[in-house]
Amino acid sequence: GENVEQHPSTLSVQEGDSAVIKCTYSDSASNYFPWYKQELGKRPQLIIDIRSNVGEKKDQRIAVTLNKTAKHFSLHITETQPEDSAVYFCAASIRNTGRRALTFGSGTRLQVQP
């Protein structure tokens, strides 16, 4: 089955700096890669996602890149703010099949220091 590894497990940056979280996946059939943000005590919320036919996607200060050949994808947050502090999860799945379960990475706890 699919295996997703995520690094680092914790990340501390100064406000205004950039943060990068990296994930690798094992199943070359995976074609959908969402990122979820979970603030303390709240539900995981989708912040950005990317499909395998796209190499990069941006949404304001957040961007995700995908390297299908290397089977890795990354989340980039620029101009970080204290409210970006949360646990971030990457995930992978195979869309357009009966099985749509997400396989998650272990999470990255991002701390943005004011």
Contacts with another protein, residue ranges (CB under 8 A): 1, 4, 6, 32, 34, 36, 42-46, 49, 89, 91, 95, 98-107
Residue among 32, 28, 76 nearest 54 (CA): 32
Smaller CB separation from another protein, 67 or 101 = 101
Rounded least distance, CB 104 to another protein, Å:
4
Rounded least distance, CB 31 to another protein, Å:
10
Q: How far is CA 23 from CA 26, 65, 68, 82, in A?
A: 10, 10, 12, 23
Q: How far is CA 96 from CA 11, 37, 89, in A?
A: 34, 24, 22
Smaller CB separation from another protein, 2 or 84 = 2
Rounded least distance, CB 88 to another protein, Å:
12
Smaller CB separation from another protein, 29 or 46 = 46
Residue the block writes with tokens 């590894």 = 5
